[in-house]
Amino acid sequence: MINRYSEFLLEKEMYDLLLESKVVFSSKFINLINKFNSNKIASELIKINSKDHPVQYNFIDITDEKDAVSFTPDRKAQELYAGKPETWIVVEGGKYLTHSDKNNKIFEALGYDKTGRQNWSPDVGTFGTILTETISSVSGKTFVLFQEYDVETPRLTVLNKSCLELGDPEIKAVWSTSRNNMKIGRLVRALLKTAGVTFTDKDIEDFTNQYKATYDFAKDALKQFDIVKGKDIAYWYDNDYYVSGGGTLNNSCMAEVNSNYFDIYCKNKQVSMVILYSENGTINGDKYVSDKIRGRAILWEAKFDGQNITFMDRIYTTHDSDVELFKQFAEKNGWWWKTSQSMDQWEQITNGDVRKLGRIVVRADKTDFSYYPYMDTMSYLCTDENILTNDSDYEDLDRDCRSTCGDYDSM
């Protein structure tokens, strides 16, 4: 009975605190609940983060405990904020909205007039202020009108808020100063009461269970991988479905070609492709999905050194750091991969334990097609025997598929 009364007092204290504060969520917290934004409570929390309420800043963040979050009391936040403009820094590039007409609804909601403006993609490290923000009714993501800070003629752009962090070192300290932990369910109750949202105990229980499950899922980045076959290979080669930015993925020579270039991949059961979804995906049942990828690599069912192997070809990613994730995923699945992510055919491969150099052979169902992709490793073909290999000395080779125009060199 005493414990229950103590819990009641703690929850009341938290509720009273929130009544004095406007709630701000960290990008980590937002990204987490966005992954299951079809949940009623998750969607309401996203609205709370972007709308004005009779509260001040609280800075809600995730913690190392999956069933708890942390906050900073308003009185301490006000000390850190006193007299300072709220500046933000770009921590991830490429997350701007293009001037495509499909983004007009978001532009209108933010009060952004694209007419005559440069479609600006700010570099990492750029400081700015947030003028307005809105939530996409389609994706559930928060977008902001971002203005360059402390320059004579500031530029404007629309960014996904997840690429921003508070920029002033003293203001950033609010995320680490006077932090208090609170069980996620109790915090959510207090937030919803403040916002006047109607909910049931079952709603809170469902949200809490999904929050904890998603937390566990997000901690394991390898769960963001998927393996596709057939026409889905050609689909994910299209750069419309790439995370924007640079890297080998966005600079791939095959990113904008006709889908029939990939028939040798799509029409052979010995070929598949591993893809790494974007970080802004969602949890669908027990599966992570997204409409964008940040990496891909062709998988071959092959013969190497007298044994059957799965060989992961050259890895293409938006961010170099994700190459290591592909290697970890390959090792977990018992695959082999190239020790160097180059276009060279004759190169060492590894399974994580040993490195070897040798002939890799794939016996396909069909190798005679009208068009071919540029093939990094398995580019040599013997169409009479439906063989693909990395070895130019293989007998009776007749084609080398190293063209970016869909054709091949005769051998």
Residue 145 is encoded by which pair of tokens? Answer: 């009108």
* Structure tokens given for 250: 């966005």
Q: Round to whole Å and give the CA distance between 168 and 165.
A: 9
The CATH number linked to 116 is 2.30.30
Instruction: Please identify which residue in the block is written with the tokens 């950033």.
Output: 172
> Residue 323 and residue 315: Cα distance in Å, rounded?
7
Q: Reply yes or no on whether the pLDDT at 52 is more than 70.
A: no
**Boundary of a domain, candidates 184, 219, 254:** 219
The SS3 call for residue 272 is strand
pLDDT of residue 79: 75
Q: Give yes or no: residues 186 and 333 share one domain.
A: no
| Residue 141 sits in the same domain as residue 250 | no
Q: How far apart are CA 16 and CA 319, in angstroms?
A: 44
Rounded mean pLDDT, 199-219: 90
Residues 252 and 395 in one domain: yes
Q: Are residues 22 and 103 in the same domain?
A: no
The verdict on 391 and 317 lying in the same domain is yes
Q: Give tens-digit pLDDT for 25-50.
A: 887 888 888 888 889 999 999 888 76
Question: What's 20's DSSP letter?
Answer: T
DSSP 408: -
Lowest mean pLDDT among 78-92, 104-118, 199-213, 334-348: 78-92
For residue 229, the Cα-to-chain-centroid distance in whole angstroms is: 21
Q: Tell me how crowded residue 220 is: count the other CB atoms within 10 A of its CB.
A: 9
Comparing CA positions, the residue from 183, 201, 192, 197 lying closest to residue 23 is: 192
In terms of residue numbers, what domain contains 98?
Answer: 85-167
Element (H, E) at 61: strand 61-62
The DSSP line for 73-142 is -HHHHHHHHTT----EEE-STT-BPPS-GGGHHHHHHHT---TT-----PPTT-EEEEEEEEE-TTT--E
Backbone φ and ψ for 363, nearest 5 degrees, come out as: -100, 105
Q: Please report the sign of the dihedral spanned by the C-alpha atoms of residue 190, residue 194, residue 195, residue 197.
A: positive
Q: Are residues 181 and 269 in the same domain?
A: no
Are 26 and 150 found together in one domain? no
Q: What is the pLDDT of residues 288-308, one digit of tens each?
A: 899 999 999 999 999 999 999
Q: In this structure, are 160 and 131 located in the same domain?
A: yes
Is the distance from CB of 358 to CB of 350 less than 8 angstroms? no
CB of 397 within 8 A of CB of 411?
yes
Q: What is the pTM of this model?
A: 0.67
Q: How many folded domains does the chain comprise?
A: 3
